[in-house]
Amino acid sequence: MPTASAAVLSVRVSASERALLEAAAEQASTNLSDFVRRRALEAAETDLLDRRIVTIPAKDRARFEAWASVPLRTPRTCPLEPSLNQSCRTSSALSGSASRS
């Protein structure tokens, strides 16, 4: 639930979009505001987790390249970006390999 100091976000929707959102909120047994907030946050998290481009800060580039250049024998964790940990175990678009784990 939002706190007392929560910021207000205003979104314009058509009448049919509002009716759809209201029906979905009612089916979820919640009010429209909570439904839209919850679904928007879920979508934002999904979009961020599905990103395909990772920016490595210049100060960390050498350390990341050293880590990435070591052949993978056992699963390992990325020292700079935890969201890369799953990517390190799956296929690489650059190498064309099936799996590194």
pLDDT tens, position by position, 65-74: 888 888 776 6
Report the distance separating Cα 96 and Cα 73, nearest Å: 18
Provide the 8-state DSSP code for 20. Answer: H
Retrieve residue 17's tokens: 């979009």
Cβ(67)–Cβ(32) under 8 Å?
A: no
Model confidence over 28-83: pLDDT tens digits?
999 999 999 999 999 999 988 887 787 889 999 998 888 888 877 666 666 666 66
